[in-house]
Amino acid sequence: MIAAATGAIVIIAVIVGLILIVGIGIAASYNRFVTQRNLIRNAFANIDTELRRRYDLIPNLVETVKGYAAHEREVFEDVARTRSAAAATSGQSPAAQAAAEGPFVAALGRLFAVAENYPELKANQNFLALQSELSNTEDRIQAARRFYNANVQDYNRRVESFPSRFIAQRFAFKEEEFFEIPESQRAALEQAPRVDFSMSREPGTPAAPAGPSEPAGTSGPGSTPPPPPAPDEGSGGSSA
């Protein structure tokens, strides 16, 4: 009788112990999901902050370029339109914001391509300061994006893996979106002009501004008409 009671106690203790272990495991997994989700949200907030910083720099940059290339109206309008569209996605999903970034960055590349044609503009202190701040902001955006995507990848892996997937399903932890420019928009980025502002040219060799079309009868910029053919010495200059 005593042995049976002892055996029952042992079985109950084992069951209680297993329940406690499973409960602790569930709680630990749940808490880790919460921590990861909060980390992802904070990481994305950093991306949004840097994107806003870049949006704020663009109007001053455009106005500075306008002072030297006011006739490039189409480029300025394209930058303004895509900037407004990208800024309007703030607070939306990462996928929506990333999709709007593609056309905006492509338009920004075309703006810098215009600036490349004006040496006086590239020597403007205000332009240099804005370009430097924009470059630093872009570096921070890329660093924040990599950090965010790394955390999303780790989180999504746990959502899909066994046994944490059961915790995710039970408590509605769903996969998070990456901040990546869609394939349909990458083509625009790859086609956008890429301008090097690293001052790698030799002094005194600035890029020449775009000029008017060549006059008829020339073969290229600065070319002269070819000289008339020399007379044939063997025939005394007369034709056969």
Most confident of 16-20, 45-49, 187-191: 45-49
**pLDDT computed for residue 214 by the predictor:** 39
**57-72 confidence digits (pLDDT tens):** 999 999 999 999 888 8
What pLDDT band is residue 157 in, cutting at 50, 70 and 90?
very high
Is the C-alpha dihedral spanning 74, 75, 78, 79 positive or negative? negative
Q: Looking at domain 2-198, what is its CATH homologous superfamily? A: LemA-like domain (1.20.1440.20)
Rounded to whole angstroms, how far apart are CA atoms 151 and 177?
A: 11
Whether 82 shows a pLDDT value over 80: the answer reads yes
Provide the residue type at 240 as one letter. Answer: A
Q: How many alpha carbons lie under 13 Å from residue 214 in its C-beta half-sphere?
A: 10
What pLDDT band is residue 13 in, cutting at 50, 70 and 90?
confident
The average confidence (pLDDT) of the chain is 79
With contact defined as beta carbons under 8 Å apart, do 214 and 221 qualify?
A: yes
Among the ranges given (1-15, 74-88, 107-121, 205-219), the one the predictor scored with the smallest mean pLDDT:
205-219
- Residue range 196-222: mean pLDDT, rounded: 38
- Residue range 100-129: mean pLDDT, rounded: 90
**Three-class DSSP category at 114:** helix
